[in-house]
Amino acid sequence: MPWVILSICVVIEVAAAMLLTRSEGFAKPLYGAISLVLFGVCFLGLSHVVTRIPVGVAYAVWAGAGVALVCIAGWIFLRQPLTAIQLICVAMIAVGAVGLNLSTDPT
């Protein structure tokens, strides 16, 4: 169950980041306010996750998956460039998060 919660939190975090971009520096405060609420929900979920998954692993997966999904969402929805080098770097982040998970004692 903690992995499901972590996955949901990552998706919500990506949505919050996209809304933060739409707020245009809080010039559109509704987008910014919704973004802040969503970030709060993410941290609430993460606070529960780290009671079951080691914090280093949870945060590495959170950060790595968040970076990857934000890059992809930015490319798809915001038409931001995503180069081959950037994709390779995102893949290395993912490999690092998986490696950290696989090398951590679950107790």
Please tell me the predicted confidence (pLDDT) of residue 103: 85
pLDDT at 107: 60
3-class DSSP string for the chain: CHHHHHHHHHHHHHHHHHHHHHCCCCCCHHHHHHHHHHHHHHHHHHHHHCCCCCHHHHHHHHHHHHHHHHHHHHHHHCCCCCCHHHHHHHHHHHHHHHHHHHCCCCC
pTM: 0.84
Q: What is the pLDDT of residues 70-107, one digit of tens each?
A: 999 999 998 999 999 999 998 898 888 888 878 877 66
Q: Where are the domains of the chain?
A: 2-102
Tell me: the pLDDT tens digits for 24-76?
999 999 999 999 999 999 999 999 999 999 998 898 889 888 988 999 999 99
pLDDT of residue 106: 67
